[in-house]
Amino acid sequence: MSGRHDGKDDAARGVTRRGFLGGVGAGAVAAAAGLAGQESAAALEITDPEAMIRIALSINGRVRHLLVEPRWSLLFVVRDLLGLTATKVGCERGECGACTVLVDDRPRYACMMLAVEAEGHTITTLEGLLDGEALGPTQRAFAEHDAFQCGYCTPGQIMAAEGLLRAEPTPDDAAIRQGMSGNLCRCGAYVHIVQAVDTAARLRKTGGGR
């Protein structure tokens, strides 16, 4: 049997090598054009970072309706738009913890979260721990133990402690140190901070110590 193939049989069936290659080439061009069209459509869907969008944030028990740019951090919106200035601006790169807030009862760096990401979640700032004009138990414990010196990091420290105690009501010293490890104190008041968190745990168990 000869292995020679001269294309005559294909031609008889209406398929030629030239036609086949031409069809494949046309299909590839069409596919490429389709992908290019999809990429163009995707490019049109990219959000303008300066375009204002409407969001609703639940902060300290209130729903706040805001117009924000998609690039704005939760820290910027909380402080500059809503005036909740207890949340401090620190390193703004997720290292110091001065901007710590609670998101769904868990400590989060507000500088590392976009405001648009916070929509649909429950946010608590230091102001939200107050009982009217009275300090909450965690705030009181920090004051009683002098768990600060300059005080700049204190709001973030208190929020980290509050988040820890909501997750673990009776932590031991090791758990306290681990839970507070994401918050830096340049004054070095760490011993008093650990004591304050321990006291806050006991105050919360007794109804706030009132």
pLDDT (tens digit, 9 = 90+) per residue, 24-54?
Answer: 555 554 555 565 566 555 555 666 777 899 9
Quote the tokens at residue 167: 């997750």
Whether the predicted pLDDT of 196 surpasses 50: yes
- Mean pLDDT confidence for 4-10: 51
- pTM, two decimals, is 0.76
Pairwise CA distance, residues 174 & 154, whole Å: 20
CB 53 within 8 A of CB 76: no
Q: Supply the pLDDT for residue 96.
A: 97
Report the candidate in 106, 114, 126, 107 with the shortest Cα–Cα distance to residue 59. Answer: 126
Domains and CATH numbers, the chain: 46-129 (3.10.20.30), 131-210 (1.10.150.120)
- CA-closest candidate to residue 148, choices 199, 112, 98, 190: 190
Q: Tens digit of pLDDT for each residue in 147-187?
A: 999 999 999 999 999 999 999 999 999 999 999 999 999 99
Encoded tokens for 141: 């414990």
Report the distance separating Cα 134 and Cα 121, nearest Å.
26
Are 107 and 178 a contacting pair, CB within 8 Å? no
- Given pLDDT bands bounded at 50, 70 and 90, which one contains residue 106? very high
Cα torsion 50, 53, 55, 60 to 10°: value is: 30
